[in-house]
Chain A
Amino acid sequence: MGRPVAIIGVGQTMHGHRSDVTYPELIREAVEAVFEDTGVSPEDIDGVIYGSMPSMMEGVALNHFYFAEALRGVGKSFMRTETCGTTGISLAFTGYYQVASGYADLVLVVGSEKMHEGDPQATMATVAEPFYQRPFTAGAPGYYSMLSQQWMWRYNIPEEVCRDAAAKLSVDHHEDAKLNTYAHIKQSFTMDEVKHSPVIVYPIRLLDVCPTTDGVCATIFASEEMAKKLKNKPAWVKGIGFRGDTFFVGDKDRVWSESPIGAARQAYEMAGITNPLEELDMAEIYNPFTFVELLHMESFGFCEPGQASDLCLKGTFARGGKLPCAPSGGVLCTNPIGATALIRVAECALQVSGRAGGHQVEGAKLALASGLGGAQQFNGVMILGSEL
Chain B
Amino acid sequence: MEIYWLLGIPLTGGIFLALWGCRKHSPEINALFSLLTLLAAALLTHRIIEDGPMTVGGGWFFIDSFNVFLVALTAFVAFTTALFSRPYMRIEAEHGKLNDKRLRLYHSSYQIFIAAMLLALTTNNMGILWVAMEAATLATVLLVSLYRTPASLEAAWKYFILCGVGIALALFGTILLYFAAEKVLGSGGTALLWTHLDGVKTELEPTVLSLAFVFLLVGYGTKVGLAPLHSWLPDAHAEGPTPVSAVLSGLLLNVALYAVMRSKVLVDGALGTDMAGNLMMGFGLLSVVLAAFLIKRQTDVKRMFAYSSIEHMGLITFAFGMGGAVANFAGLLHMTMHSLTKSAIFFAVGHATQKAGTQLMGGIRGLIKTNPTIGWGLMLGTVAILGVPPFGVFASEFLIITTAMHDHPWATPFLLLALGVAFASIFGKVQPMVFGETESAKLPYQPALAPVFLHLGLVLMLGLFIPPYLAAWYRQAAQLLGG
Are these two chains actual partners, yes or no?
no
